[in-house]
Chains A and B, each alone.
Chain A
Amino acid sequence: MTNEEKYLSIFKESFDVDEATARTLKYQDIPAWDSVGHMSLIAALEDAFDIMMDTDDIIDFSSFEKGKEILAKNYDIEF
């Protein structure tokens, strides 16, 4: 699985959404992505990519796109 696929599938599973929805999703767009869902998402991403994110990055992680940007920039994950 490519990193892109991995990332997408975590979003789809965490929030039970289809690909098109996942790709445009922003924090608090749907009830599932609330503060509880957010911490579960972060935990799932950390497991999948074997990383530990900084608190600032967890806070800045405000959308599907923004998340990719953060992972690429601060954790050397290539998409």
Chain B
Amino acid sequence: MTFEELLQIPPYSLGHEEKHALLTERLLGLTEHHLAHCPEYRRMLDSVGYDSGSISGYEDLPFLPVRLFKELSLRSVPQEDVVKTMTSSGTTGQAVSRIYLDRTTSANQQKTMVKIVSDFLGASRLPMIILDCPSVVKDRNMFSARGAGILGFSIFGARKIYALDDDMRLDVDGLRAFLEKFQGQDVLLFGFTFMVWQHFYKELVRLKEQGVTFDLSRGILIHGGGWKKLASEAVSPQEFHDRLRDVCGLDRIHDYYGMVEQTGCIYMQCECGHLHASVFSDVIMRRSLDFGVCGVGEPGIIQVVSTIPESYPGHSLLTEDEGVLLGEDDCPCGRKGKYFKINGRLKNAEIRGCSDTYAARFA
């Protein structure tokens, strides 16, 4: 099955057996492709004695630690075919991942993202408020995770405004005018979790104290990027939701899980509060001791697989996040596939321990 054919499948329509067969075929194919086109990848797989004949399902495929993309330049296409390089967020001085995209992979990322998000938003595009500043998409050749996310979601916006200026101040007048113009319509809001909290929610609270209020009861907020930065403020997802609703009436809120190394395959949070894997990708929770597959309810390190990456060998990655599988094919929202939650980032010591175990396994 080609990727184009795969894209025609509704994102949450396949049960375990069908999805498993489909992903195994595609991911095996991608493994062969990267073996043939990325020498570093071949060396790594050679060193573990990879044998495609011993793979009975995609959970048997090797996975690369996500931080490898910070250390190595991994490409499966010639440099001249690279049309876009994406970088992970990282604090200054920290190494960042570099992900090289050719036309095909870049286009497939956008197409996949649209299929997934349309399942939640419908096909129509909405007035859109970007809860960030315009400068985040300024460097067009080097996209940060934030920039890439904003650009990717922009396709759902019919008319767009950036709610923050480049000094991260809320554009109160602009926001008011925008909401008045589209009064009575659904409005899409998009931003990174921390930015939403720090520069939007807190400002709304401050304005409310001065008697300035906004009605966002027709708003649909999609946010991602993780809770790590909010942990220090002890804000839980539930509190995030409750307090946004209290300050501006915003009640349709979807978190999503995703990473720059597998852009396109995002995991959207449904109405029941569960993150969902679409037919285009999957999560496998693994035990830190032996990388065995965890059962439902058992916390583990998250491995992500994606059917998209052709220009870089990132179709099977071990993240540095811990999560719990909550179930498969039976979420009350009706969507099929696995649903799960994120517990948070592994601690540095755990990651080191994990890499050691990993190295031992691959030695």
Flag the segment in A7-15, A48-56, A71-79 that touches B. Answer: A48-56
Q: Can you list, as one digit per residue, whether each of A39-60 has a CB less than 8 Å from chain B (1) or not (0)? A: 1000000100000111110110
Tell me how far the C-beta of A8 lies from the nearest C-beta in chain B, rounded to whole angstroms.
Answer: 24
* Contact present for A39 and B114 (CB under 8 Å): no
Interface size class, chain A: 10 to 19
Whether, in the assembled complex, B155 has its beta carbon less than 8 Å from a beta carbon of chain A, the answer is yes
Chain A residues lying within 8 Å of B347, measured Cβ to Cβ, are: none
Instruction: Compute how far the CA of A55 lies from the CA of B7 in the bound complex, rounded to whole angstroms.
Output: 14
Closest to B138 in A: A36
Whether, in the assembled complex, A21 has its beta carbon less than 8 Å from a beta carbon of chain B, the answer is no
Instruction: Compute how far the CA of A55 lies from the CA of B156 in the bound complex, rounded to whole angstroms.
Output: 7
Partner of B114, one of A31, A35, A55: A55
* Contact present for B151 and A31 (CB under 8 Å): no
* Contact present for A35 and B84 (CB under 8 Å): yes
* Contact present for B110 and A59 (CB under 8 Å): yes
Whether, in the assembled complex, A28 has its beta carbon less than 8 Å from a beta carbon of chain B, the answer is yes
Chain B residues lying within 8 Å of A16, measured Cβ to Cβ, are: none
* Contact present for A56 and B151 (CB under 8 Å): no
How many of chain B's residues have a CB under 8 angstroms from any CB in A?
Answer: 20
* Contact present for B110 and A35 (CB under 8 Å): yes
* Contact present for B125 and A52 (CB under 8 Å): yes
Tell me how far the C-beta of A38 lies from the nearest C-beta in chain B, rounded to whole angstroms.
Answer: 9
* Contact present for A55 and B155 (CB under 8 Å): yes
Chain B residues lying within 8 Å of A27, measured Cβ to Cβ, are: 103
Closest to A39 in B: B154
Which of B115-155 touch A at CB < 8 Å?
Answer: 118, 123-125, 137, 140-141, 151, 154-155
Whether, in the assembled complex, B158 has its beta carbon less than 8 Å from a beta carbon of chain A, the answer is yes
Instruction: Compute how far the CA of A53 lies from the CA of B114 in the bound complex, rounded to whole angstroms.
Output: 14
Q: A34-B84, A54-B123, A55-B123 are in contact. Are A39 and B103 (CB under 8 A)?
A: no
* Contact present for B103 and A28 (CB under 8 Å): yes
Partner of A39, one of B84, B118, B141, B155: B155
Instruction: Compute how far the CA of A67 lies from the CA of B69 in the bound complex, rounded to whole angstroms.
Output: 36
Whether, in the assembled complex, B345 has its beta carbon less than 8 Å from a beta carbon of chain A, the answer is no
Partner of B111, one of A36, A46, A54, A59: A59
A-B contacts besides A34-B84, A56-B114, A56-B123, 20 pairs, CB < 8 Å: A28-B83, A28-B103, A31-B140, A34-B83, A34-B140, A35-B106, A35-B110, A35-B151, A36-B137, A36-B151, A39-B154, A46-B158, A52-B125, A52-B158, A53-B125, A54-B124, A55-B155, A55-B156, A59-B107, A59-B114
User: A-contacting residues of B (Cβ < 8 Å)?
Assistant: 83-84, 103, 106-107, 110-111, 114, 118, 123-125, 137, 140-141, 151, 154-156, 158
User: B-contacting residues of A (Cβ < 8 Å)?
Assistant: 27-28, 31, 34-36, 39, 46, 52-56, 58-59
